Amino acid sequence: MMNPDLKSIAIGALAGMTSALLVLAATTHLSASIVFLILAGMPVFIAGLGFGMTAAVLALAASFLVLAFAVSPLFALSILALPQLPAAWMSRLANFARPAEELGGPSNVMAWYPLADMMMRLCAIVAVAVALTLLATGYSRGTASDIISAATTALSAQDPTFSMDAAVLAQVTAFYYYLLPLNQAVMSVVTIFAAYYFSAIIVRTTTTALRPREDMPSALRMNRDSLYVLGVGIALLIAGMATHNNVLTIVGASIAGAFGGGFLLAGLAAFHLKSRGKSWRLPALILAYLTISLTGIIFLIVGMLDTRRAIALTPVAGKPSDKNTTDTPNT
């Protein structure tokens, strides 16, 4: 029988190499980059959720070495920051549990780390990672201007009649400057959570998962404290816009985008729950996801209005319990 330590090493190394190959696929197939980025986080999640933190850390190391050799150490470091490190940390939190008795609950069940708190910490890590990455790479208004100028030049080459007024060009550049960190933070939170969701399903069906299955439509909510952090992010963003301070703008946009992404997911989960059992559920969900760029603000507000911490419970082995393994009381 294989030694558990050797098994963790093998699983972690394989997961890291797989994640690195998926990242490389995302860079060469831009049209499907979001799909590949979701898949890239899944090997790390599977290693962490199914085989422990040792396997997750080894997956990070293996992926870093492969990407550093194939591309560059700086590129490998950026991928380590997003999505791999948040995936490893979130899988570690997902496996945390303690007796429910310590929280004032019954003595025969275990209480698992609340999903709302996991989401809050995921958003915080993403906000820090996005801000540090953009600041380290020198992102600024000048960078946004160069990107927009290159795009307009390419469009002009394809269509000689294409032209853009200087004032309109300035507005587009300013909009893109604020949009990029916001969008990157939102998409990072969404893709990392998607990787967690699908990885948890795979782990439950292929190995012995530690964390019980949760009903995501009812369990996926944000911690109430996340509202205050989102407010701080918006305040910093507004201050950066008013003073033209690049650091405040990037930090504020990263925080607002990351926590906005968390509340967006919570709002979508609430919509899934409210539509359950309704005849119009399927077309409504399809329409909601197809128009998410327009209706996203509605789901974000819904997520902000429904903040709570649901705790998954499982019976302690050898002790009888009348609690359901997916009981999720509010705290």
Joined together, the tokens standing for residue 207 give 């190995």
Q: Please check the confidence at residue 1 and state whether its pLDDT lies above 70.
A: no
Confidence category of residue 82, pLDDT binned at 50, 70, 90: confident
Residue 271 CA neighbour count, 13 Å, CB half: 26
What pLDDT, on the 0 to 100 scale, is given for residue 2?
45
pLDDT at 329: 39
Residue 38: both structure tokens together: 């979701």
Q: What is the pLDDT confidence band of residue 267, given thresholds at 50, 70 and 90?
A: very high
Residue 38 has pLDDT above 90, yes or no: no
Nearest Cα to Cα of residue 224 among 298, 120, 142, 103:
120
Q: What is the mean pLDDT of the chain?
A: 88
What is the tens place of the pLDDT at every residue in 178-226? Answer: 999 999 999 999 999 999 999 999 998 887 677 888 899 999 999 999 9
b/e for 141-169, b at 16 or more Cβ within 10 A? eebbbeebeeebeeeeeeeeeeeeeeeee
322: Cβ contacts below 8 Å, ≥ 6 apart? none
Residue 317 reports pLDDT greater than 90: no
In this predicted structure, the answer to whether residue 324 has a pLDDT above a threshold of 50 is no
- pLDDT band with cut points at 50, 70 and 90 for residue 325: very low
User: What was the pLDDT predicted at 313?
Assistant: 82
The residues facing 310 across adjacent strands are 330
What would the pLDDT profile of 131-146 be if each residue is shown by its tens digit? 999 999 999 999 999 9
Average pLDDT over every residue of 110-126: 94
Task: Name which of 120-129, 144-153, 272-281 the model is least confident about.
Answer: 144-153
pLDDT in the model for residue 71 = 92
Least confident span in 50-59, 253-262, 270-279, 322-331:
322-331
Q: What is the pLDDT of residue 4?
A: 54
Which has more pLDDT, 151 or 63? Answer: 63
319 has pLDDT over 70: no
**pLDDT at position 268 over 70:** yes
Task: Specify the length of the chain in residues.
Answer: 331
- Rg of the chain over Cα atoms, rounded to whole angstroms, equals 22
Between 255 and 207, name the one with better pLDDT: 255
SS3 content of the chain, % helix, strand, coil (to 5): 75, 5, 20
Contact in structure between 45 and 90 (CB atoms under 8 Å)? yes
pLDDT digits 0-9 by tens, 54-71: 999 999 999 999 999 999
